[in-house]
Amino acid sequence: MRLGLLTACLPGTPLEQIVAWASGAGYAALEVAVWPDVPGRDWEASHLDVAAFDARQAARTRELFDQHHLEISALAYYENNLEADQGRRADIHKHLRRVIDAAELLGLGLVGTFVGRDVTLTVEENLRLGERVLPPLVAYAADRGVRLVVENCPMEGWHPDGYPANLAYSPQLWDWMAGVGLYLNYDPSHLTWLGIDPVAVVPAYADRILHVQAKDTEIDPVGRNRLGVFGNAVARAENPWASGWWRYRIPGLGDVDWAAVVEALRSSGYDGVVSVEHEDPVWSGTEEKVHHGLVLAQETLDPLVRTTTVQT
């Protein structure tokens, strides 16, 4: 296994600077964020312009990474592929195809995304919708030697009542995803607050886990006792991403047992990248804070990831 990071936490920093910093900080890979560069959406990182990406830019990108002894683990475009607005959905699919094209030019086999959800429909209706609209995207990727890996984030902030809006949040739905040709970008942080044991699920889904994201979750039992597992229900629109009883943290600063998670992955045969997804509010707000958070993550995970022996 190798330790990487998702570049989305540094949306205003050029890719060249991220590559140089990550290499110096002991990282081995980058999961490169490639959202479209849209005015007014500065929180979305666009570290490669996939709309204008060509063979020459691919060669330059590979040279940049080679110079710093880094690899690209995947391209990242986590959007709602079942968006209710069909015009918006078409735009998302168009950009996802461009991401896939860029991955092919770079010789990459993985593109990260979401299933998503049409929040006007029931879960069952969404599954039938997904069975119609997702296979063409899977086929488009397969024709280019690329597989789509879906992060198991509930994306509850997309739903007006805070219910899951990315239908990839549970092992039951991972079984459904396999049926439409989607793989898993496994992130234990989401499983932790959902009450799913992130270690126990690994062996059963080892053949579907093609990429791993590393994020931690800090649980507040007092807040959960007041709000319940569904989180804050009052004036939710003011901050749709604040549950009131848990928050994401840097690996090592929350409740995930990283030694057990990494060992479960290793024992199940996973030998890919573990990509730090930095969404810790404590270590955010400035580039310096983000860098410090990434250093903390590296210090926690690198000794675990680099271990080569498996206890039997």
Give 199-255 pLDDT, tens digit per residue.
999 999 999 999 999 999 999 999 999 999 999 999 999 999 999 999 999 999 999
* Backbone angle region of 163, left / alpha / beta, with phi > 0 → left and psi within -120 to 50 → alpha: beta
pLDDT for position 309: 46
Q: Which residue is listed with tokens 């989607």?
A: 182
Q: Look at residue 97 and tell me whether its pLDDT is greater than 60.
A: yes
Q: Look at residue 289 and tell me whether its pLDDT is greater than 50.
A: yes
Confirm if 219 and 248 have CB atoms less than 8 A apart: no
* Backbone angle region of 109, left / alpha / beta, with phi > 0 → left and psi within -120 to 50 → alpha: alpha
pLDDT for position 42: 85
Domains of the chain: 2-216+246-306 (3.20.20.150)
Q: Look at residue 197 and tell me whether its pLDDT is greater than 80.
A: yes
Instruction: Tell me the chain's radius of gyration from C-alpha atoms.
Output: 19
When pLDDT is averaged across residues 278-288 and rounded to a whole number, the result is: 97
Tens-digit pLDDT profile for residues 10-40: 999 999 999 999 999 999 999 999 999 988 8
Confirm if 275 and 4 have CB atoms less than 8 A apart: yes
Q: What percent of the chain has pLDDT over 70?
A: 98
Q: Look at residue 93 and tell me whether its pLDDT is greater than 60.
A: yes
Q: Give whole-number Cα distances, 168 to 7, 156, 165, in Å.
A: 22, 12, 9
How far apart (Å, rounded) are the C-alpha atoms in residues 12 and 290?
Answer: 12
How far apart (Å, rounded) are the C-alpha atoms in residues 240 and 161?
Answer: 8
User: Confidence class of residue 311 from pLDDT cuts 50, 70 and 90?
Assistant: very low
User: Confidence class of residue 43 from pLDDT cuts 50, 70 and 90?
Assistant: confident
User: Confidence class of residue 307 from pLDDT cuts 50, 70 and 90?
Assistant: confident
What is the model's pTM? 0.96
pLDDT for position 40: 86
* Average pLDDT of the residues of the chain: 96
- Helix (H, G, I), strand (E, B), or coil: what is residue 274? strand
- In the DSSP assignment, the letter for residue 160 is T
Q: Give whole-number Cα distances, 302 to 85, 251, 295, in Å.
A: 42, 11, 10
How far apart (Å, rounded) are the C-alpha atoms in residues 207 and 216?
Answer: 23
pLDDT for position 70: 98
